[in-house]
Amino acid sequence: MRRVLAALAFSAVLALAQTLASPSFAKPAALNGVGLDQKMGAQVPLDVPFTDEHGQPATLRQYLGKPVILALVYYSCPSLCNMILEGIARSVNGLSMDAGKEFEIVAVSFDPRELSSMAMTKKESLLKLYSHPEGEAGWHLLVGPEGASRTLANSVGFRFRFDEMSNQYVHPSAIMILTPEGKVARYFYGINYSSRDMRLGLVEASHGKIGTPVDQVLLYCYHYDPKAGKYGFVIMNTLRVGGLVTLGALLGFVFMMLRRDFHSGHSHGHVAARGEV
């Protein structure tokens, strides 16, 4: 009986998987036109007009010169956008780098109804999760007209739509890392971003201008996987690094042994010379 039930369950799962994989399977209408098209190396528009959390005019250009973590969200979102922004805060909170010094964080609302006061309220809540000193200087939450946010979203392949029935926006869950020149360097998916991946992404986007020599070794062992939207372990490169470390240790051991034998023989020679005298 158990075997029969197990076989039926397996058949049901297989049928569901085949249905979902079928080209004829239609995704919910609310998701039509929603998605993320990776545009690695694409230049974001630098001078489209936004307003920052203080109510001052702002453009993306003023935040460049350092790598930028870019999040397209809206601040009145009941769930997903909060998770994305809090995921960024948790991730960068675990870095030895400081927002505002080595990198910048820019969130842009694609809801034209939102005001700078809403951005400020959201920023204050995020800073409670980010414990680095003077962290406020590295966070920038922008609002602006629909044309500006749509232009930015199109440049990075971020496709969203407004659902009138729910009075909410439907959008993908992802963030981008930009180079200091404003080009797309990395995409990270989901709502949780590991501090390791975030650090490696920022180091690569900076062209090695931030980070440590250890980061360069890690980048040799971990490569970015565009499909997964994260860094993966490269076993062959790791084995090469391990081999070099082992070889270095062996050479160091041999050198120490030869040096000890040399000093030992040299001291015996002195003793023998004194005995003859």
Neighbours of 245 (CB within 10 A): 11
Q: Which residue has the higher pLDDT, 176 or 19?
A: 176
Residue 94 φ/ψ, nearest 5 degrees: -90, 5
pLDDT at 109: 98
Specify the CATH architecture of the domain 29-210: 3-Layer(aba) Sandwich (3.40)
Mean residue pLDDT of the chain comes to 81
pLDDT at 7: 41
The CA distances from residue 231 to 183, 200, 220, 239, in Å, are 19, 8, 11, 17
Q: What is the mean pLDDT of residues 27-33?
A: 64
| Cβ within 8 Å of residue 78, ≥6 positions away | 168
Interatomic CA distance for residues 123 and 143, integer angstroms = 12
Q: What is the pTM of this model?
A: 0.73
Interatomic CA distance for residues 124 and 253, integer angstroms = 55
Determine contact, residues 213/79, Cβ cutoff 8 Å: no
Highest mean pLDDT of the ranges 7-16, 44-53, 240-249: 44-53
| Local structure of residue 209 (DSSP, 8 states) | S
pLDDT at 233: 75
Neighbours of 188 (CB within 10 A): 26
pLDDT at 270: 52
Q: Which tokens is 76 given? A: 């009145």
pLDDT digits (tens, 9 = 90+) for 34-64: 999 999 999 999 999 999 999 999 999 999 9
Domain boundaries, the chain: 29-210
pLDDT digits (tens, 9 = 90+) for 183-237: 999 999 999 999 999 999 999 999 887 767 666 665 567 677 888 888 887 643 4
pLDDT band at 261 (very low <50, low <70, confident <90, very high): low
